[in-house]
Amino acid sequence: MRKIFTTLCIALFCATAFANYSTPGSGKRWSLDSLVTYSAGDVTFSNNTYLFNDTITISQSDTLFILKNATIKFAAGVFVDINGVMRVLPPDSVKITAQDTAAKFLGLKFEDFSDGSVLKKTIFEYGCAIRMLTCDILIDSCIIRNNTLNSSFSSSGVITFFQSNSTVSRCKIYGNRSAALQSGANIASSGQILFNEIYDNVTANGNTPQINWGATNTTPPMIIKGNSIRGGLYTNSGGISFLPIGSANVIIEDNIIKKNRYGIAFAASTITAYVNNNIIDSNNIQGSPSLGGSGINFNSPTAMNVICARNKIRGNLWGITIQGGAKPNIGNIVNSDTTDIGLNQIYWNGNSGKIYDLYNNTPDSIKAQNNFWGTTILDSVEAHIFHRPDSTTLGFVDYLPIRVVTETVSQNSSILFNGFKLYDAFPNPFNPVTNISYEISRKMQVTLGVYDMNGKLVSSIFSGIKEPGKYEEHFNAAALSSGIYFYRIESEGFSDTKKLILLK
């Protein structure tokens, strides 16, 4: 039990001026209404809103259940210190917000005995952070937004892990001051980050990624899977970064990482990672190739144990950059390992008028076999890779054999990212008619259009509701001039774009 007292002693009298409320730690089940009854004004109820007027402690062995829809407003500087368990399981939603959205509040702090805590269908806004310290909880189907209070309570991330293997799944996390998810650099945490929409965080525009991670456990590994990690508003905001003091073991797969300062950065030789089947697209928003823009950057003094397979890395200032002695495995088909088989598509990356799909800025030889480099002409692949032929101080990149991508292979994906997939147009180049196919996994609003090089809409192909299924639309460009165009699908806040070449 924890209380804070201010005392004034005069003669034989000792009066308590104020105390924030702690539940008694007697193994009881608490509700918002029981906190109102027993907290002596620290929690009140007015106008269908629960008001947390001071910090509340849920003591060890006690459980706070919130099982009904509710609005909760915290006073400035207030937080809930959860030494027991907190389970938020409403039928529709619970909103946790600030009494004063300008002053904001601190948030939720889950401590050592909080295992089994759940936040579900919760809106958490205008505060600072949700912290997990030496406990494993579930945060699922929540909206975590506009938390911009700068306080040491957060250690900068809006969801922070310290010796925690908590799961964050199916949430929308956006508009927060710094990282969406963060761990301690030297405090091992193997979070599970699954199927979230993470976008436009780092509103302070510091040099910070949206997922900012340090050390992990060896078992279980850290898993980042099925997320959309999108930027566009804040030019210093990166995608995913690992900079552990200690070691990290991570699986990054089936994500869309788009429009950040960079896609993924690995910055320690003690990293073991499997980077598989991600779309790493247009991470170029800062625009300075000397400061960032890599789809994936590897930077360490000695070799990492990192395998990259089946990724699409395109439209970045640099595709893959390798520094120091990092030596990742981007495809090796001559050994017995079946995970490092390449199958990456690395194309349309470059800056300053040059192609940089892979830049080996190390003296070491790099394996990058069985990948597609945007062309099937062997003599042209060399121009996509910067290595020993370009500078005698650099190591070779072993990129042969290359992978030849056919129309069937390029469309062969069983995963519908965020509920839809946009296929390559066929034929492309075309004159004047081509077919554009897309697939959706559920009923949704779909907008499909064609744009010119300046981003101007030149043809609206479809806008409306579609049932689940695969669709093909015909685009007739008879009224357009020869050139490069882009077709774009948008649905439920997500989008994907591909290139068209019209040759008349």
C-alpha angle 49-54-59 in degrees, rounded to nearest 5: 100
DSSP state of 430: B
CA torsion through residues 475, 480, 482, 483, sign: negative
Cα–Cα nearest to 222, from 268, 171, 274? 274
The structure tokens listed for 381 are 């692949």
Pairing of strands 469-476, 433-440: antiparallel
Assigned fold of 414-502: Immunoglobulin-like (2.60.40)
Q: How far apart are CA 422 and CA 425, in angstroms?
A: 9
Residue 434, number of CB atoms within 10 A of its CB: 21
The structure tokens listed for 90 are 């409403």
- Spacing of C-alpha 65 from chain mean position: 29
What integer pLDDT is reported at residue 36 of this predicted model? 98
483 Cβ contact partners less than 8 Å away, ≥ 6 residues apart: 452, 453, 501, 502
Q: Is the whole-model pTM more than 0.85?
A: no
Is 470 in a helix, a strand, or coil? Answer: strand
**Which residues of the chain fall below pLDDT 50?**
1-18, 407-416
The structure tokens listed for 149 are 């209070």
What integer pLDDT is reported at residue 454 of this predicted model? 73
Q: How far apart are CA 451 and CA 490, in angstroms?
A: 13
Residue in the block written with tokens 């809106």: 123
Residue in the block written with tokens 């072993």: 398
Q: How far apart are CA 371 and CA 357, in angstroms?
A: 11
From the number of C-beta atoms within 10 Å of its C-beta (0-12, 13-18, 19+), residue 170 rates as middle
353 Cβ contact partners less than 8 Å away, ≥ 6 residues apart: none
Task: Tell me if 253 sits within 8 A of 278, measured CB to CB.
Answer: yes
What integer pLDDT is reported at residue 18 of this predicted model? 40
Pairing of strands 197-199, 172-174: parallel
Q: How many helices (H) and strands (E) does the chain have?
A: 3, 50
Please report, for the chain, the start and end positions of each structural domain, with discontinuous segments joined by +.
Answer: 276-405, 414-502
What integer pLDDT is reported at residue 484 of this predicted model? 85
DSSP state of 345: E
Cα–Cα nearest to 349, from 393, 296, 307, 391? 296
What integer pLDDT is reported at residue 414 of this predicted model? 39
Count of CA atoms in the C-beta half-sphere (13 A) of 313: 34
Task: Tell me if 105 sits within 8 A of 78, measured CB to CB.
Answer: yes
The string of pLDDT tens digits covering residues 174-216 is 999 999 999 999 999 999 999 999 999 999 999 999 999 999 9
Q: How far apart are CA 279 and CA 253, in angstroms?
A: 9
